[in-house]
Structure 1
């Protein structure tokens, strides 16, 4: 899939510069995972993107700086809600909802399923409800994201 081409079809989408192999490897090293090939392709083309306040996390890179929101939010959720190590956070609606991507700890998959989970609070402690499959692939998830802009 040509992710950038799809994002350029609407001026409502924002995206960053594509990541290089070292930056993608940094994510894998920091989270101790192997990213699926489809998500690596997305990262290499547009880093991350958003439509209004809805986003797909990744690498925020421009000519002057680089940050890793995917790493930051995934580590935060691992700590706060004991998110399993084989899931990364693609989107987080603060205090409401997580969109999660199934990854492998030790092998590079072609693609994998996308899951969702409601965020809830019990006695001031954040938890997540049952994790349910939303899409069978990253590509399917991205196509649904693109429909927001039309």
Structure 2
């Protein structure tokens, strides 16, 4: 799929500069995982994207600066909410909902399922992640749903 072309065709999406191989390797090294091929393609084309306050996290690059929101959020939620190392965080509605992408630390998957998980406060006042449930069979299906968000607004 040509992610960047699709973003340019479909509404008022914002996106970053594409990532290079070293930047993608940095994500994998920081998180101790191998990113699925489809997500690597997405990162290479547009780094990350958003429509309003809905994001698909990745690498955010502007001329002269770079940040890795997918690394920052994933590490934070691994620590704070004990997120499984089998996932990276594509989107986080703070203290409400996570959109997660299945990854592996042993093999590079072609693609994987995208999961959703509620974040709720338990009876002890501690936030926790409820069991992730499959939302989309592939990253591309998730991306198409993301694009539909912008098309609804037009």
TM-score, length of structure 2 as denominator length: 0.95
Distance of 1:65 and 1:134 partners within structure 2: 33
Match of 1:81 in 2: 81
User: Matches of residues 122-141 of structure 1 in structure 2 within 5 Å?
Assistant: 122=122, 123-141=124-142
Aligned length: 150
Rounded to whole Å, the distance in 2 between the matches of 1:25 and 1:96 is: 30
Q: Residue deviations 1:55-103, cap 9 Å, x none?
A: 0000000111000000000001100111111100000001110000000
Name the SS for the 2:106 alignment partner: coil
Distance 2:148 2:11 in 1: 13
Runs of 5+ consecutive residues of structure 1 not aligned to the other structure? none
Structure 2 gaps of 5+ residues are none
CA offsets 1:108-145 (integer angstroms, 9 cap, x no match)? 11000000000001233210112100000001100000
Between 1:75-84 and 1:15-24, the stretch displaced more is: 75-84
1:149 maps to what in 2? 150
Provide the aligned C-alpha RMSD in A.
0.8
- TM-score, structure 1 as length reference: 0.98
